[in-house]
Structure 1
Amino acid sequence: MGEASVKTLETRTDVSSPTVTEHGTRPEPDAALLTRLRAPRRPRIWFEVLLIAVSYWTYSLIRNAVPEQKAAALANADWIWSVERGLGIAVEQSVNHAVNSVTWLVVGMNYYYATLHFIVTIGVLVWIYRFHPGRYAATRLVLFATTGVALVGYYLYPLAPPRLMNGGHFIDTVLVHHTWGSMASGNLKHMSNQYAAMPSMHIGWSLWCGLTIFAVASAPWARLLGLLYPAATLVVIVATANHFWLDAVGGVLCLAFGYAVSRAWYGSLPHRLPRRPVHTGPHPASALLNRFRRA
């Protein structure tokens, strides 16, 4: 009886005693809040739709607001082309002309370039949201950070795509075959910054899709398709003369930055997080907002 009372007392004491760190101090409330903010939670569909819509609108607004520095963009394109020739990888023109000679193939690539960039990316986001909610926020952060740092590249390094080079003899496949494709061709050219080719977000986004599918999918055929998608995208952006090989390298570097940001915030790569979120209660950001409202 006495031992039971002592154990009960000890248990109550342990529960009610404050958490003590290795330095003998109680953790700061702000640190605890930050820890809870970084914990993956079940995403809310209305918030995600709103966030993605606002983020893409902001991205497009900033991207198109970057001054179109034509002279610098053309000079940078000449420099990129000379570097690739020096490295022995300047085969974009040969690929462009070879694909352009096969009408059905180049037309298919034009529509691939114009549509799958958005369709597949949104599809992967929806898939992760639906079947891997615990990994969704971290995966989304990779995409957002990748896209955000790309804006810095557009501002600091204006670059004309191969099809706009002076004397480059590249073929603008959208104009030649009268297909709807590049936002920088035809009647759509005034809606988009034509000199934002570095880095290539077609590569950044497609590689994000491919790596996400490969890391998370269980079916071998799905994982294989995940790897083939960015490879096919690389061929398309070169064949349609929308990007140099080195633009793709820029996209890969942006994606690496995105993964670094996500890992720093969540403490792990997205695919290593639990499939189902551990925390299911209200997001701590709500309490933070309420604190500011009362202040």
Structure 2
Amino acid sequence: MASNEDFAVSFYEEPQWNSQPAWKLPGWGEPVIVACILVGSMIVSRRRGYRIFDTTKREYGLLNVEPGYARTSDNITRDSSDTDSSIDIVSTSKHLSKKRRCCWATFYTPSTSRFANHYHSRLLQRFPFLIEMFYWIITYAFYRCTSILAQSVFSKTPIWDVAQDHALAVLEFEQFSWLSFLFPISEVEFQSWFMDGHETFLTILNRTYALIHIPGTVGFIGWWYYAAPSHASFAVVRRTMTLTNFVAFVMFICYPCMPPRLLPQEYGFLDSVRHDDAQSVWMKGKYVNSLAAMPSMHFGYAFCIGCTLLYHSGCGRRTLERGEVRKSKSLALFYALSGIVYPSWILITIVATANHFYLDAFVAFFVVIIAFFCNKVFLVFLPLEDWLLWAMRLDKPVPTTGDRLKT
């Protein structure tokens, strides 16, 4: 087994890049971009014909619901995202309780339909995408905690040294293991190609790394909420991405790994994003985990998005979902190519900017696959969601995903 010293010598070459830092996006730029995407998604996916401040009770036959107001969440049984666990009606009262069955156990949760006319409930019914925003904020908060938890786990051993050892182990595995044939071009050689006469290309990749991860992912979630043929299809992707997040968070805590750009200079990597003054505002601050290279969430998200675009293209699917229309050949080709090009572009970006190793993306690929097949694990939290909504006096909004396909 090669020693760290021999390994460093074999890769050592003073990184040279004489490109001047590109224009820097103001600190408020990214938050404004993300806020615009969220507000735009919220408006596009709004429930049309529904008024927040009109709580006048009217009789509309046996259903007793307003036109355009499909039904309360308590009456949804199949087309909602989270109804894969069965719900039974267990009361004949006006506000029916729910009987949740999950994990071989039965839970009785209160109905929230009595809160349907509360203004904050009606706000959610008008803009149901708000609840998706709320859950992604919770996920982001969990990510912010990974740095603190990792520090506590490795409190007796300097975490920086542990992360560096893990990074060197990754490099050694790529170059000297029996799987080394999968990595014919080293990360150092790959980045050097961009620094040697292709600086403009690298500058573009630096901007891609900084601006695509958060704004691009948020934009995708907003688009898929609107474009998905059904809320069930949207929910599979949302749960897959969320579970990918949490599996990655556990790995960040238990296996801190230094990105190539932070390795000592003798390993030949250059922190091109910082050199180009293109750091993302979301990757700054006290609680940012800079030792979270394994797995690559940039590639994990991109791979999940790519698979969704391929699915949405309809290519390879003999049957379509209810109400879904077969796309034209040109549109289907556009989505299919986008599904291939986007994750490929992100893979090039994360390696060329020395933010990730090949193996980081390789592991992220398998994490997404596992998350997809295990995404229904989040359904065990439905009783907790019911009680949370009850405590907040909120009626869960009926999703508008797929409404545009209904006639």
TM-score (norm 2): 0.53
User: Which residue is equivalent to 1:240?
Assistant: 353
1:32-62 CA-to-partner distances (Å, cap 9, x unmatched) read 6237x9xxxx993221121112221222233
Number of the residue aligned with 1:105 = 201
CA distance in 2, matches of 1:182, 1:104: 22
**1:113–1:182 CA contact under 8 A, matched in 2:** no
SS in 1 for 2:295: coil
Assess if the C-alpha contact under 8 Å between 1:113 and 1:236 holds in 2. yes
Q: Distance in 2 between matches of 1:265 and 1:62?
A: 20
Please list, as runs of the form range in 1=range in 2, the aligned pairs for 1:66-145 lying within 5 A after superposition: 66-67=150-151, 69-86=159-176, 87-88=180-181, 89=183, 91-101=186-196, 102-132=198-228, 133-134=230-231, 135-145=233-243
Residues 1:163 and 1:195: Cα distance change in structure 2 (over 3 Å): same
Between the aligned partners of 2:387 and 2:172, the Cα distance in structure 1 is 56
**Whole-angstrom CA distance in 2 between matches of 1:263 and 1:216:** 21
Q: Which AA in structure 2 matches 1:62?
A: T
Deviation of the 1:65 alpha carbon: 4.3
Match of residue 51 from structure 1 = 135
Alpha carbons of structure 1 residues 77 and 189: separation in structure 2 relative to 1, 3 Å:
farther
Amino acid at match of 1:119: P
* Matched-pair contact (CA < 8 Å) for 2:312–2:335: no
- The secondary structure found in structure 1 opposite 2:101 is helix
* Structure with greater helix percent: 1
- How far apart are residue 261 of structure 1 and its match? 1.7
Aligned equivalents of 1:263 and 1:214: distance in 2?
Answer: 22
Say if 1:189 and 1:58 are closer, same or farther in 2 by CA, change over 3 A.
Answer: closer
Does the aligned pair in 2 maintain the 1:147–1:254 contact within 8 Å? no
How much has 1:139 moved relative to structure 2?
1.4
2:162, 2:170 → 1: CA distance?
12
Cα distance in 1 for residues equivalent to 2:219 and 2:310: 15
Output the amino acid matched with 1:33. R
Greater alpha carbon shift after TM alignment, 173-182 vs 193-202: 173-182
TM-superposed deviation, 1:182: 8.7
Q: Determine if the alignment matches structure 1 residue 168 to structure 2 residue 267.
A: yes
Q: What is the rounded CA distance, in whole Å, between the counterparts of 1:207 and 1:125 in structure 2?
A: 14
> In structure 2, the residue corresponding to 1:242 is in which secondary structure?
coil
For the residues of structure 1 that align with 2:241 and 2:218, how far apart are their CA atoms?
11
Distance 1:165 1:227 in 2: 31
Q: Quick one: structure 1 residues 63 and 140, their matched pair in 2 at CA, closer, same or farther if it must change by over 3 Å?
A: farther
TM-score (norm. length: structure 1)? 0.72
Distance 1:140 1:121 in 2: 11
- Tell me the CA shift for residue 189 of structure 1: 7.0
Answer yes or no: is 1:34 the counterpart of 2:118. no
Name the CA shift for 1:108/1:182 in 2 (closer, same or farther; >3 Å): farther
Query: Which residue matches 1:215?
Result: 311
What's the counterpart of residue 192 of structure 1? 288
Alignment partners' CA distance in 1, 2:202 and 2:225: 34
Range 216-225 or range 105-114, more displaced: 216-225
**Deviation (angstroms), 1:174:** 2.0
Residue 213 of structure 1, CA deviation: 1.0
**How far off is 1:287 after superposition?**
8.1
**Does the 8 A contact of 1:174 with 1:182 survive in 2?**
no
Alpha carbons of 1:214 and 1:239: their partners in 2 closer, same or farther (altered >3 Å)?
same
1:82–1:165: structure 2 CA closer, same or farther, 3 Å change rule?
Answer: same
1:113 is aligned with what amino acid? Y
Q: Which runs of 5+ in 1 are unaligned?
A: 1-26, 267-282
For 1:99, the aligned partner's letter is: F
* Identical positions, percent: 25
CA distance change for structure 1 residues 209 and 165 in 2, over 3 Å: closer, same or farther? same
Q: Distance in 2 between matches of 1:66 and 1:195?
A: 9
Question: In the alignment, is the contact (CA less than 8 A) between 1:124 and 1:209 conserved in 2?
Answer: yes
